[in-house]
Each structure stands twice: as C-alpha cells, then as structure tokens.
Structure 1
Amino acid sequence: MLQQFLHQLLHALKNLLPIILVVLFFQLVIFQSLPSDPLSITIGLFIVAIGIALFLLGLELSIFPVGKNLANQFARKGSLPLLMIFGFAIGFAAVIAEPALIAVAEQAEQISQGRVNGLTLRLIVALSVGAVMALGVLRIILGWPIHWLMIGGYIIVLLVTFFAPAEIVGLAYDSGGVTTNIVTVPLIAALGLGLASSIKGRNPLTDGFGLVALAVMVPMISVQVYGIWVYNFSSAAAISQVAAVPSQLHWLLQALLDLATMVKDILPMILVVLIFQYLILRRPLAHPAKVIIGFAMVLLGLYAFVLGLKLGLFPVGSLMAEQLINKGYNSLILLFAFTIGFATTMAEPALIAIGNQAEEAARGKLKGSAIRLIVAFGVAIGITIGVYRIISGDSIHYYIMAGYLLVVILTALAPKYIVALAFDLGGVTTSEVTVPLVTALGIGLASSIEGRNVLIDGFGLIAFASIFPIITVMLYAIVVERFSQVRSDPT
C-alpha cells in the first residue's frame, strides 16, 4: 500500500509540475521576482499533492471496485428501476462530495455575501447530476441517439441563459464544468461503458460515452433557474450573510471543524454504497477492511486537498492575476492563460484515461495522443478567450451563447461516432488542480481590473475550458471524415 501511495504521490506531483513550471517562468523571466511567501505556497502545493494521492488511492481501494461491482450485479439482475435508482444515487453522492464543486460553492457564497448559498448550490448540482444519471442509464438501455439529447438540451441551456441574471451565468456554467472530476468521471464512464458492453446491439463508442456530457449540461440549466429565483423573486434582506470566522479561534479547532465538514461531505457516498450493498443486493463487501481503509484515505485526502488549496493554489492564482494586471500588458495575461490551460490539460489523468478508452472503443478511428493534443488546444483557446472577456468587460451571455450555438451546429454536422465522446471530453478537462487555479485567476482578474464585478466577471473561465474542447474535437472529426472520403473517392 505504501508503494501504491508513493506512486500516486509522484503522479500527483507530475500533474502539478506543468503549473509550477508556467508560474516559475512568469515569476523569474517576466516579473523577475518571487512571491512574498514562497514557503507557504510550496507547502500548500505539496499538501495538495498528498491530498490527491490519498484521495485517488482511497478511491481505488474502496469506491471504484465497490461501485463497479454494484453496477455489474445490477446489470446481471436486469432490473431497469434498480439501475436507474443506482445511477441517481451514485451521481448524487459523488457530486455532493466533489472537491472542486465545494471550492467553487464556497467562493460563490463569499463573493455574493451569502445571496448564493453554497450548500444549496451543491444540492442543486448534485440532484441534477443524479437525475441525469438515471436518464443516461435509460438512454443506453433504450438506445436513444445522444446527439438529439445534446442538441435539445443545449437549446434549453441557451434559452435559459438569455433570461438568467448576469450574476449567475458564469457560476452556472462553472458549476456544470466542475461536476465531472476525480470522483465522478471514472464512476460515470465505467457505468456507461459497462452497460453498453453488456447490452446486445449497443456500441461502446456511440452508446457508452455521453453520461459525463449530460452531467455537465443539466446543472447549467438548474443553477441558472436557481439564480433567476434568487435575484428576481427572493428578498436580499432575508438572506443571511456569510459569518466571518472569529480570528480568536485556535487553528487546531478550525482544523477539526474543517475535518468534520469533510466527514459530512463524504458520508453520502459511503451510505449509498452500504445501502445498495447490504439492503438491496443483500451481499457482504468483498474486502471490508480494505474498503474501510480506502474510505478513511478518501476522507483524509479530501481534507488535505482543501487545506492545500487555501495555502497554495488560491494564493498563486490571485498573485499571478494581480502581477499580470500591474504589469499592464494584456498580451502577457493572454499568454499565461493559454500556457496554463494547455499545460494542465495535457497532464490531466482523467483525459488520459478517457482518451485510451476512446482509442480502444473506436478501433482505429481515433488516436488517444491526438485526442489529448486537440483537447488541450481547445482548453487553451477557451481559457484565453475567457480571460479576454474579463479584460474587455464584455457580457458573458454573448460569448457563452455563441459558443454553444456553434456546438449545436457542429453536433448536427459531426460524424455520429464522435458526438458523445466530444461532449464527454469537454467535461473531463477541468481537473482537481485546474479548477481552483482557473477560478482563482478569474476572481483575481475581476478583483484587480477597475469596473469589473467579481460575481459577474470572476466566474466563467471553467465554462470556456469546457466549451472549446467540444468544438475542437468535433472539427477534428469532421476534417478527418472529409479527408478519408476524399482519399477513398479521388473523383
């Protein structure tokens, strides 16, 4: 187990390395200075790596094997209601404990001064993902084409965005982007591919992918509807303000309170697994001691991750934003956005895993390495455009609506085998490391530029990082398909 932990720790440090290199390049070459408290930031980044390693190892020991085993047992039972209930429960439990969603919800509550309630936001997103997991299971079983669901769904997204207040749009799209992360992607992908592989007449590439895409899309709708209610029909005076943490509290007491919060966050996932294992299937866990240790690692890893964010990644993002604004060169800000987007995406483990699964399922049509490059390029473009929007002060409505209108058009034109995968790839690009850094960058820029509203302009970068990979992957498939047609028919 120690060897596995060290392997995960090295893997986590490798994923952090591109961010560190980009930050060091800008600090030493562009700014020619170091942060005022480099030791605290370094310790914070190392704690993030330890948290990620513990979290991932805990998932491998407990939640992943138990979740896959449950999915296989339900598939063998052939019970549609049980499969849909299981899909809902797994989707809800995984998202309510998602570290990146917790971080975004806390930031939103603080910036909106309590108008957007962090726990309510998380519950809305988790309920949305749970419902869409049940719908996605039904889609795979009944063989519904994914492209009609995505076209219809994003038309609804665009309509809701048109009426939603500016304060909620960026946050809603970011909330959709962070639902698919280190907890949800492997579970959701395994459920979809497992079902598509076990049902006669289903294709893993066209039917197995798509659950991640649905998990990204539906929260965008529900959070914007929540924002319409909050900003148009609720009384601001009746909404409680965020209570400041008393400075007199000892750090140990605060750490215990944070740990208690982590227990509350991870508890739903544990309860779902135990209820379905013992009460529904009425079978004992295969290796209970290993599962218990795994759950403990998940808990400690989640705690260390959040602690490391506060010490390392959030200060780095805010510091870089402030320095770039003070430098006064917008081109430098855009260059930083592009490089950080490309570097972090290329090292994203969920993207590597999905790319390998897609290459295997596509049987020669796709290359995993090519997919990673195209997706990383899309993320880099998306974050760069998102940063440009913050600098220019343009309304996020027009950018988001134009982006997804292009996505809808490409969905109708792209080869059907790529549609579900393209949307899934848009969901896996926002990693546990990228989300906090990009969120901090957006908030830092909006805080540093005169005339910007942090709640309206600070959020939205994650959304851009999710939209543009969908566009680049679909364009890639259209070009490849067209090129293959020309080669086969020169006339």
Structure 2
Amino acid sequence: MPEQLKDFAHTFLHAVNNLLPIIAVVVVFQALVLRQWPEGGGSMAMGLLIVALGVALFLRGLELGIFPVGKSLANQFARRGSLPILISFGFAIGFSAVIAEPALIAVADQAAEISDGRIDALTLRLIVAASVGLVMAMGVLRVILGHPLHWYMIIGYLTVVAVTFFAPEEIVGLAYDSGGVTTNIVTVPLIAALGIGLATSIRGRNPLIDGFGLVGLAVMVPMISVQLYGIIVYGQASPAGDAELVMNGDDAIDAANPLLQMALDLFSMLRDVLPILLVILFFQYAVLKRALSNRLRIAAGFALVIIGLYAFVVGLKLGLFPIGRSMAEQLIQFDSWLWVYLFAFAIGFATTMAEPALIAVGQQAEEAAAGKIDGRAIRLLVALGVAIGITIGIHRIITGDSIHHYIIAGYSLVIVLTALSPRYIVALAFDLGGVTTSEVTVPLVTALGIGLATHIEGRDVLIDGFGLIAFASIFPIVTVMSYAIIMERLVKWRSARS
C-alpha cells in the first residue's frame, strides 16, 4: 500500500506539472496585461486541482487495470498469428478506448449544449469511436501487409477535403475537432503499443516506417464520418424545443437532489468505461479461454478510472472552461487584437511542450530511428506548429472567415508535403499531429474558441467556436514534414558539393 500511495503521489505531481505551463501563461497575462484576477478565480483554481486529481486517478487506474491486460492480449494474439482475431481485437480496442476518452466527452457535451440538442453527445461519441475502431482494424492490416502509409493518408485527406465541400458549416469545425481529440490519454498508449509491437514482431517491417501511423489514421477518419453525420442531422428539422425540455429536466434534477445527480454522473462514467471491460473479458475468456490474473488489482484499476473520469469532468466545469471563456472575454475588451494572438500562441506552445504523450512518442521515435531523429527537436517543432495553428484558428474567428477555406487549404498543403517528404518521417509526422491535443489543452482551447465566438458580434458559436483543435493538429504535421524535407535537401546539397 505505501508503494501504491507513492506511485499515486508521483502521478498527481506529474499531472500538476502538466498544468503549470497553462497556469504560468494565465498568471502572466492576468498580472501584466489584464492586471486583474478573474471573477471566481478561487473556484477556477480549485477546478484545476480537481482536474489534476482526476487525471492522476485515471492514469493510475489505466496502469493498474487496463494497460496490463490490453498489452497481454495484444502479445498473445500476435503470437497466435491469426489475422481475423488481430483485426477484430484492433477494432474492439479502438472503439472501447475512444468511447471513454475524457476530451471527446467534453467536446461532445459542449456541442450538444451549443446546438440545443440537435447534435446528440452520445451519438457523436459512438460515431467517432466506431470510426477509430475501423481505423485500428485497417491499420493492423496495413502493418501486416506492409503497405506504405503515405498512400492511405493522401487518399484519406483527399476524401476529407471533398466531404468538407458538402458539409454544413455548423458541423465542419466540430468534425475536425472530433478527429483531433480521439488520440489522448487512453488511446495513444494502446494504439502506439499495438502498431510498434506488430511492426517489431513481423519480419521485414521497420518500426519507424510501419509501426507509427495508427494515431494519424485515428485522427483522419472521424473527420469524414462526423461530417457525414452533420449532413444528415442538418438536413432534418430542428428538435430544439425537445432538447430544451430535456436540459431543463436535468437542471431540475440537479437542483432538487445533488446526490442523485452525482450518482447519475458516476453511472454515466461507468457506462463510458464498460466497453473496454467487456472487450477485455470477451477476448480473454471467449477467444483465449484463459482466466484473468490479478483480478482484484484489475477491478481496483477500473474503479479508479471511473472515479478519475468523474473528478476530471467536475474539474473542467469548475476550472478550465471558465478560464478559457474568462480570458477570451477580458482580452477582447482591448482595442488591439494583438494580445489575443499572443495569448493563443503562448498557450499553444507552453501546453504542447509539457504534453506527456508527445514526450513519449518523441522518445519512441528517437529509439526507432537509430540517430535519424532528435526527440527534443521534434518537441520544439511540434510545439511551434501547435502555437501557429491555434493562432491562425483564432484569426479565423476574429475575422469571421469560413473554416472551409482554411481547412481545405491546410490539408491540401499536408497532402503536397506528404508526397514530397522522405518516407521515414510520414507516419511519425501524422502521429505527432494526433498527440498534441492533451486532456488539459483540449478543454481550454475549446473554451477559448467558444468564448471568442460568444463575445464577438456576428459570430455563431457552433460555426465559429469549434475548429481550434483541428488547427492544432494540422500545423505540427506541416512543421515536422517541412523540417524533414529541408534537412534532406541540405544533406543532398552538401553531398553534391563535397
């Protein structure tokens, strides 16, 4: 038990450390630029601590229960060498991991609230989770067959751009944000471990070229499916009146019995984690026909995941969402938009540099590349890309430009760079674009976009408020690929001169 408490304390401090860059940027802007403490600052600070506590509990639960079982299953299936079982397991684990993703829960709930119930939060999450499941199955097959990733990406993003032409403007930003939040504290470790593990175990596969790429695919496909969902939803009559009754009913429950509301929220978290548990139990007992070891430890892990998810959502409502909206409201009161741009750039860069998933992927890439890639340089390039992307996204909201033009231009650039980039960097670049949006960054950036769209005259919150996460995913791909192309050209130029 003392060892477990020590591990939890370490995880909690790590979660707090991930919040520090955001706190530093907010404090600097409040003290030097705004020169005032936001209203409800104490509640926001408490919310941030609850977020850190929720993330720590969640991560400890993953380490105790979900990850060990998931890795064990993946290793056993790889040793069996059964393609149908591997593909089925890839789909199931992709679906079950994403349906429990905290950042996706936050974005889906925000979308449902802002659209007055026209977009259903659970339906949106099911669509995104099914998309990631299909991606995992397709990605496993790609690794086994040894297909080059760049063709998948070029064809995929051409499809994304084509669908964007027909999608209603209310869904475009949300669709791209939904793709950006699928790869986070649950999915990245599971997806990356499965891809690299398969590439390592199959003769003739390169871990850097073949092992990476699953995360990038998991970002891309939900963009297509959510836009198709939007085409269907916005082709129907608005159910806004019914949605208002449902929301008012929830408010009545919350006001009448807070304990009942807490119980309902906890039950909702259990529902979110249940798919992962069912997948694990099914494959363990029905396919492998073996009993789970350390069942008590695994049960404790799942309990911590549920409690951590609940604390995380409570902390978001108290801390990160109010901070983003408050900062947006205060910054737009200045005569110049310069401070809004500077805040967006600083938040993007600071949070990305501290992103644990990015650090982990950078280290894995450095090891797999055998000296070709510097992990620290990769982090700087990705952080710069996120900062540029969020700043451009903020500019779009301020000017009121159509997101269609920005997104189509951005991914057209990505398609061109994919065709020009050296093959060793393509899969890694797309994965890096998928791991830049953390469980802390996503709610803050979403709240900032919604806050700006709410307070700038003539902006529609659903159309203009979403989309920042998409920009944070596009531009790291651009910076990493551009760097690789430039370095390759320099090497060739120096070789030609010598």
Same fold (TM over 0.5): yes
**2:116–2:240: 8 Å Cα contact kept in structure 1?**
no
Asked if 1:39 corresponds to 2:42, the answer is yes
Match of 1:25 in 2: 28
Match of 2:238 in 1: 236
- 1:439-478 C-alpha deviation (Å, 9 max, x unpaired): 0000000000000000000000000000000000000111
Match of 1:82 in 2: 85
Asked if 1:403 corresponds to 2:410, the answer is yes
- 1:76-98 C-alpha deviation (Å, 9 max, x unpaired): 00000000000000000000010
Match of 1:181 in 2: 184
Aligned residue type for 1:175: S
**1:115–1:239: 8 Å Cα contact kept in structure 2?**
no
Aligned residue type for 1:352: I
Aligned residue type for 2:203: K
Aligned residue type for 1:22: V
Q: CA deviation at 1:286?
A: 2.5
Match of 2:203 in 1: 200
Q: CA deviation at 1:237?
A: 4.2
CA distance, structure 1, for counterparts of residue 268 and residue 321 of structure 2: 20
- 1:354-373 C-alpha deviation (Å, 9 max, x unpaired): 00000000011101110000
**1:91–1:129: 8 Å Cα contact kept in structure 2?**
yes
Residues matched between the structures, number: 490
Q: CA deviation at 1:239?
A: 7.9
CA distance, structure 1, for counterparts of residue 240 and residue 301 of structure 2: 42
Match of 1:277 in 2: 284
Inter-CA distance 37–237: structure 2 relative to 1 (3 Å threshold) = closer
Match of 1:215 in 2: 218
CA distance, structure 1, for counterparts of residue 372 and residue 293 of structure 2: 38
**Structure 1: gaps spanning 5 or more residues:** none
Asked if 1:481 corresponds to 2:488, the answer is yes
CA distance, structure 2, for counterparts of residue 172 and residue 459 of structure 1: 9
1:362 to 359, 362, 369: 369
**1:176–1:220: 8 Å Cα contact kept in structure 2?**
yes
- 1:142-164 C-alpha deviation (Å, 9 max, x unpaired): 01110000000000000000111
Runs (4+) of structure 1 exceeding 3 A deviation are: 237-240
- 1:114-135 C-alpha deviation (Å, 9 max, x unpaired): 1111111001000000011000
Q: TM-score if structure 1 supplies the norm length?
A: 0.99
CA distance, structure 1, for counterparts of residue 363 and residue 27 of structure 2: 31
CA distance, structure 1, for counterparts of residue 428 and residue 276 of structure 2: 26
Asked if 1:69 corresponds to 2:72, the answer is yes
2:311 to 304, 309, 315: 304
- 1:398-445 C-alpha deviation (Å, 9 max, x unpaired): 000000000000000000000000000000000000000000000000
For residue 256 of structure 2, give the secondary structure of its aligned residue in structure 1: coil
1:253 to 253, 256, 260: 260
Q: CA deviation at 1:489?
A: 2.4
Return 282-291 or 237-246, whichever deviates more: 237-246
2:97 to 94, 109, 113: 94
Q: CA deviation at 1:256?
A: 1.5
Q: CA deviation at 1:62?
A: 1.2
Match of 2:154 in 1: 151
**1:154–1:408: 8 Å Cα contact kept in structure 2?**
yes
Return 432-441 or 31-40, whichever deviates more: 31-40
CA distance, structure 2, for counterparts of residue 199 and residue 378 of structure 1: 33
| CA RMSD, Structure 1 to Structure 2 (Å) | 1.0
Q: CA deviation at 1:353?
A: 0.2
CA distance, structure 1, for counterparts of residue 361 and residue 241 of structure 2: 42
CA distance, structure 2, for counterparts of residue 400 and residue 291 of structure 1: 42
Asked if 1:108 corresponds to 2:124, the answer is no
1:391 to 382, 386, 398: 398
**Structure 2: gaps spanning 5 or more residues:** none
Aligned residue type for 1:186: P
- 1:283-326 C-alpha deviation (Å, 9 max, x unpaired): 12222121111111111111110110001000000000100111
Identity %: 69
Q: CA deviation at 1:278?
A: 1.2
Aligned residue type for 2:44: I
Inter-CA distance 483–305: structure 2 relative to 1 (3 Å threshold) = same
CA distance, structure 1, for counterparts of residue 307 and residue 365 of structure 2: 32
Match of 1:327 in 2: 334
**1:115–1:240: 8 Å Cα contact kept in structure 2?**
no
CA distance, structure 2, for counterparts of residue 488 and residue 74 of structure 1: 46
Match of 2:424 in 1: 417
Match of 2:461 in 1: 454
